[in-house]
Each structure stands twice: as structure tokens, then as C-alpha cells.
């Protein structure tokens, strides 16, 4: 059984060393009560009760991996500002290797501020610049990261379309990983999936897949397979794993597919659930499980985090408990 295999890995399996490369950001939450409208405009007044920040984007993927028990190195770009210092301080304190995080004077550190009334998000305010890195910064980035790739068991690319993953840099990263015999798992963004050529797994959601495959809509499993195989032909990826929100996820290869139904009994907040799926898949593939087993565990991990507010993480013990609970339903 899968749970027995996972428990055995917990007891005696090696600790994976996983490299996450991606767009880094801070998630800033402002939470309060909204009981009246402003006299200045028809908008709610939020009386702030608390606010907090958490690492977001690729940094959230790294935190998810850390919670699962992995050794984690994180590479990316921040601004040269106080938010960058705050972010790296948190990561280092948690035990994440942040040696390959570069600072770019031409951009601020990306900050997403969510203003909440109780559990309801009223508005999100983004501070960001998304232009590509300069050629010299790209060259420095690649040179620095080669050693991290060499030490990693698997490489994760977390693309939030914030400027890091230009086609040229993305291909250099994937080629370097493949040259060193490391699988690459990608959470994609944007319409140009050709830049992900050489990846092992690409993990879009249904909407992202439809847009990238230039398909008007995806309403059934046949259309889903057709769209995924367009991407497989473009990229040579061995698997496309498509997250389907309330319907779970589907694993598609060139010749077959496997639908994994949703495991969530309630949905509270989907923020960061894609990061959890990405991290869980990568962790268990690095542990030697096959893609279907890794995705089954990722499906349960996603079910756990969407019951919580904001970007959340889960542990292997919680995943195993959720599997046992699911069997008893």
C-alpha cells in the first residue's frame, strides 16, 4: 500500500535535496472587520485587527518542501530593498539555503497585499516590476546555480511570470539540469510553453493549459488530453499534470491518462494550493515514487491546505492521516 511505502521512506529513506528556482515574493495580509461603507465611495471600510507577511511564490514552494522534510535550496531574484532583507531573513531562519538569491537594483521585491474582511478577500494590491533580467544578471545567475543543480536530487521551476524565466534563461536552466541527470518539474505561466522544452513534468491548471494549447475551452477529458498532447509535442515533457480545482487532477502522458478525483471535503482558500501540489510531487519523485503515487499524495496535500486561510503547508503525517480519513468516509 502507498501509506506503508511512505511510512517506510519516513523511517529509513534518504532526505531529498531539492532545488527550487523561481519568482520570489512576499504575501502580505491585512485582516479586519468591515461593517459599514465609506461615505467617500461605495466601498467597505476595513477596521484592521491584524496583519502579517509570509514568503510567497517560489518561496512558498520551498516552505512546503521544508515542511515535508526536504533539504531545500532556493534561487531567484528580489529587489535590493527592505522587503528582500525581510524575505531572506525568514528563509534562512527556517533553514532554507538562500545563497542563490540575487538582488536586482532595477526592480522592487514583489509584494502582494491582500485586504481581508474576516475570511473574505476584498482587494489585492500588487507591487511588482516584471521586466526580464539583464543579460549580465542572467549569466551570473546561471553560473552561480550550476553547483546547486549538481547537489540537487530534483529541480523545481516555479514560474509566476514576474520576469525571471525568459525563454533563454529557462532553456539554459533545463539544459543544465538535464546535462547533470536531474529531472525538472515545472509550474508554468504564460503562453510560451516551448521555453519549457526538456522538462520531465509540467503542471498547469485547466485554464492555463487551454490558453497555452490555444484551445477555446476544455470541457471534458478528451479535450483535456488533446490540449495536453499539444504541449507534450511542443516540449517533449514526459507528463502533463493538470489540476482541475474541485475535480481533482489528471496525469497525461503521450499514450495514457489517469484521473485522480478531488480529496477535499471543503474549500476555504485555494491560495498556494498549486505550490503545495508542486512541492509534494517533487518531494516524492525525489524519494523514488512513481508519478502516479506522487500525484496521489499531492492531491491529499492540496485538500489539506485549501481548508486553511492563506498560503499553508502540510506534513507527511498529515497527508497520511488524510488518506486514512478518506478511506473511512
Instruction: For residue range 18-73, list pLDDT tens digits in order.
Output: 999 999 999 999 999 999 999 999 999 999 999 999 999 999 999 999 999 999 99
- Considering only residues 263 and 214, tell me which one the structure prediction assigns the higher pLDDT: 214
> What is d(CA 256, CA 212) in angstroms, rounded to the nearest whole number?
20
pLDDT, the chain, mean: 91
In which band, very low, low, confident or very high, does the pLDDT at 263 lie, cut at 50, 70 and 90? low
Annotated active-site residue 23? The verdict is no
For CA atoms 297, 206, 56, 141, the dihedral sign is positive
Given a contact cutoff of 8 angstroms between Cβ atoms, the answer to whether 208 and 240 are in contact is no
* Nearest of 54, 50, 33 to residue 122 by alpha carbon: 33
At residue 317's C-alpha, the angle toward residues 315 and 321, to 5°, is 120
In which band, very low, low, confident or very high, does the pLDDT at 246 lie, cut at 50, 70 and 90? low
Query: In whole angstroms, how far apart are CA 4 and each of 7, 10, 304, 324?
Result: 5, 10, 20, 11
- Average pLDDT of the residues in 299-308: 81
What per-residue confidence (pLDDT) applies to 244?
Answer: 84
What per-residue confidence (pLDDT) applies to 233?
Answer: 95
Residues 6+ away with beta carbon under 8 Å from 25? 55, 56, 57, 59, 109, 110, 111, 112, 128, 160, 162
The helix or strand, by DSSP H or E, that contains position 324, with its residue range, turns out to be: helix 316-327
What per-residue confidence (pLDDT) applies to 272?
Answer: 59
What per-residue confidence (pLDDT) applies to 98?
Answer: 94
- Considering only residues 214 and 248, tell me which one the structure prediction assigns the higher pLDDT: 214
> What is d(CA 47, CA 99) in angstroms, rounded to the nearest whole number?
40
- Average pLDDT of the residues in 189-204: 96
Helix axes 273-286, 291-305, angle to 10 degrees: 150
In which band, very low, low, confident or very high, does the pLDDT at 124 lie, cut at 50, 70 and 90? very high
Region of poorest pLDDT, from 125-129, 195-199, 232-236, 317-321: 317-321
Name the active-site residue from 275, 317, 322, 326.
275
pLDDT exceeds 60 at position 268: no
pLDDT tens per residue, range 78-97: 999 999 999 999 999 999 99
Amino acid at each position: 500500500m502507498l501509506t506503508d511505502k511512505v511510512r517506510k521512506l519516513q523511517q529509513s529513506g534518504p532526505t531529498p535535496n531539492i532545488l527550487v528556482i523561481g519568482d520570489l515574493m512576499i504575501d502580505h495580509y491585512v485582516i479586519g472587520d468591515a461593517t459599514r461603507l465609506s461615505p467617500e465611495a461605495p466601498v467597505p471600510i476595513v477596521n484592521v485587527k491584524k496583519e502579517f507577511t509570509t514568503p510567497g511564490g517560489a518561496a512558498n514552494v520551498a516552505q512546503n518542501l521544508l515542511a515535508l522534510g526536504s533539504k531545500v535550496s532556493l534561487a531567484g531574484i528580489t529587489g535590493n530593498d527592505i522587503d528582500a532583507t525581510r524575505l531572506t531573513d525568514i528563509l534562512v531562519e527556517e533553514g532554507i539555503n538562500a545563497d542563490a538569491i540575487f538582488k536586482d537594483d532595477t526592480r522592487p521585491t514583489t509584494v502582494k497585499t491582500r485586504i481581508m474582511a474576516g475570511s473574505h478577500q476584498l482587494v489585492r494590491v500588487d507591487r511588482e516590476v516584471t521586466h526580464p533580467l539583464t543579460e549580465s544578471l542572467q549569466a551570473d545567475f546561471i553560473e552561480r546555480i550550476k553547483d546547486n543543480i549538481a547537489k540537487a536530487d530534483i529541480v523545481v521551476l516555479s514560474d509566476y511570470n514576474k520576469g525571471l524565466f525568459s525563454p533563454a534563461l529557462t532553456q539554459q536552466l533545463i539544459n543544465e539540469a538535464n546535462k547533470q541527470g536531474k529531472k525538472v518539474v515545472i509550474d508554468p505561466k504564460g503562453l510560451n510553453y516551448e521555453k519549457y522544452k526538456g522538462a520531465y513534468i509540467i503542471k498547469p491548471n485547466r485554464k492555463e493549459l487551454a490558453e497555452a494549447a490555444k484551445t477555446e475551452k476544455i470541457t471534458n477529458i478528451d479535450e483535456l488530453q488533446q490540449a495536453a498532447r499539444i504541449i507534450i509535442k511542443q516540449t517533449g515533457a514526459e507528463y502533463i499534470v493538470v489540476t482541475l480545482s474541485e475535480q481533482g487532477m489528471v496525469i497525461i502522458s503521450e499514450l495514457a491518462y489517469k484521473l485522480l478525483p478531488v480529496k477535499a471535503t471543503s474549500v476555504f482558500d485555494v491560495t498556494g494550493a498549486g505550490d503545495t501540489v508542486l512541492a509534494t510531487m517533487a518531494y516524492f519523485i525525489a524519494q523514488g515514487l512513481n508519478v502516479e503515487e506522487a500525484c496521489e499524495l499531492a492531491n491529499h496535500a492540496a485538500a489539506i491546505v485549501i481548508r486553511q486561510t492563506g498560503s499553508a503547508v502540510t506534513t507527511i503525517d498529515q497527508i497520511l492521516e488524510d488518506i486514512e480519513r478518506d478511506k473511512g468516509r
